[in-house]
Amino acid sequence: MVASIQQDVLEDYDPTLDLSRYEFPALDLLKEWSTGNPQVTNEELIANKNRIVETLKNYNIEIVKIKATSGPTITLYEIVPAPGIRISKIKNLEDDIALSLAALGIRIIAPIPGKGTVGIEVPNRKPEIVSMRSIIASRTFQESEFELPIALGKTISNETYAVDLTKMPHILVAGATGQGKSVGLNAIITSLLYKKHPSQLKFVFVDPKKVELNLYSVIEKHFLAKMPGDDDPIITDVQKVKNTLSSLNMEMDDRYDLLKKAHARNIKEYNQKFISRRLNPEKGFRYLPYIVVIIDEFADLIMTAGKEIELPIARIAQLARAVGIHMIIATQRPSINIITGVIKANFPARIAFRVASMVDSRTILDSPGANQLIGKGDMLVSTGSSLTRVQCAFVDTPEVESIVHFIGEQPGYPTAFLLPEYIDGNSDEPGAVDLKNRDDLFDEAAKLVVMNQTGSTSAIQRKFSIGYNRAGRIMDQLEAAGIVGPNEGSKARQVLLQDEYSLEQLLNNL
């Protein structure tokens, strides 16, 4: 597979027709960390069962039945209380049961959804590492028919936990420092690299910390997407983040136009039509790879750029699912000024690692529980109404390096996948705007701005039902004409004219 052949394939009907030219990563690149032996002995299980029954008996709570399910780091004890026992009474004994078991911290699920039992999750004395190799090799992952399969780890019942990103469709990852967020992101990326061909999937990596996702720059010409002219495929600069998100909005709008022309409701239908040669590339149709946007340290971006980052993210999260653009954002600061209502509403799937307080847990999951996790990859995954406890698969940095070098050594595309070019209108000098070629909506936008005395690009966008880029160009023309002042970051621009009479005079002189 040489670069020139790859380019020919790209320009042909479907780049996925010949997968033989690309070799998927081998399983041997991953290390086997787990021993495969159960870490909880029968004696320990029996002793814990007796202690739980005895503790509850001390508070006049009779148990009809108790059953244990042992997982890699947690053992779930399911109890059936005698008739007439109030569930809330058991829930209130969380600390007493933890004391009797001498456990690091237990979590009571009262009741377990879909079962007539109360669950008591107790940490194992010797937790087992869940290796990424065992997850990738599992039948659940290998035989999955998901569009974008993500293998996260193992559940309490030792089953591989795999989900489809296209169904989620965006994920919010949060947790305190050092509890496994970066490893979790690497597990998500690794599972996608093991399943998808470079033509089917592209990543956009945003890493304000500059070191977490830098490993993946090796696979730039295979799996990464970037804006034209960007040297570094991993985006670290805040201004470039804004431009890239705006570019992704343009890509999303372009894709919706293609779907409309193709009479397809989603990217899967569109690509199937394209593969079966029912769409002509000469009419502008092209194969659409999935795009997964991964943002690490989201809190840093919000604190630096605020609404300028949040609004394009919210728009992508609201609309981009049907055209194959999905987002995963991670933060170590799950406070309400970072994870706002807009973000939460558009990220129904949440992954919570251990957090410091119940308030943080409620912010992420809308329920307590993340504050009672034991750390080191222990996490709660919320998808809609269900909450699943999973031990995250461990993938070490040398393993990731081996995988990306294996892919990087294969011939790739001539360049990374190029997103639409976006030019930040705010960064240009007002004098560079040609007022002779004013937008058709220029006069109406000028009247709107002067009447409301607010120079807001988003207000123009909403009022005239136009795209953000066009509204931005109109705002630049208004600035060049002397109607509004210069850009002031996330603030609305100052309006320099006070009444419509002054505006009429100015417009007549242009």
Confidence category of residue 328, pLDDT binned at 50, 70, 90: very high
Q: How many domains does the chain have?
A: 3
**Is residue 358 a part of any domain in this protein?**
no
Query: Would 340 be classed as within a structural domain?
Result: no
Average pLDDT over residues 454-458: 81
Tell me the per-residue pLDDT of 201-231, one tens digit each, with 9 for 90 and over. Answer: 999 999 888 888 889 999 988 899 988 877 7
Residues 318 and 440 in one domain: no
Alpha carbons 319 and 70: distance in angstroms, whole number = 41
Same domain as 196, residue 48? no
Q: Are residues 88 and 207 in the same domain?
A: no
- Residue 344 resides in a domain: no
Statement to judge: residues 229 and 182 lie in one domain: yes
Same domain, yes or no: 414 and 459? no
168 and 86 in contact (C-beta within 8 Å)? no
DSSP class per residue in 265-280:
SSHHHHHHHHHTT-S-
pLDDT at 160 over 60: yes
Give the type of residue at 400. V
Residues 74 and 191 in one domain: no
Residue 91 lies in a domain: yes
| Band of pLDDT at residue 334, cut at 50, 70 and 90 | confident
What pLDDT is stored for residue 2 in this prediction?
35
pLDDT tens column, 379-438 = 999 887 788 899 999 999 999 999 999 998 888 888 888 888 776 655 444 445 777 788
Quote the pLDDT of residue 290.
94
Q: Report yes or no on 164 lying in a domain.
A: yes
Tokens linked to 433: 């705007």
DSSP-H helix ranges across 353-499: 358-365, 397-408, 442-452, 457-464, 468-480
Structure-derived torsion over alpha carbons of residues 19, 167, 387, 193, reported in degrees to the nearest 10: 20
Question: Domain limits at 53?
Answer: 42-123
Q: What is the pLDDT of residue 170?
A: 92
pTM of the model: 0.77
**Does 94 lie in the same domain as 21?**
no
Cis peptide before 111 (omega within 30 of 0): yes
| Confidence at residue 403, expressed as pLDDT on a 0 to 100 scale | 92
Q: What's the pLDDT score for residue 476?
A: 87
| Domain end among 357, 391, 418 | 418
User: Which two tokens mark 255?
Assistant: 């894709």
Q: In this predicted model, which residue has the larger pLDDT, 33 or 207?
A: 207
Among 78, 94, 123, identify where a domain stops. Answer: 123
**Are 462 and 383 in the same domain?**
no
Q: Are residues 302 and 283 in the same domain?
A: yes
Say if 362 falls within a structural domain.
no
Q: Are strands 201-206 and 290-295 parallel, antiparallel or unpaired?
A: parallel
Q: Which of the pair, 429 or 176, is modelled with greater confidence? A: 176
On whether residue 457 sits in a domain, the answer given is: yes
The CATH number of residue 295's host domain is 3.40.50.300
Q: Which pLDDT score, from 0 to 100, does residue 121 have?
A: 87
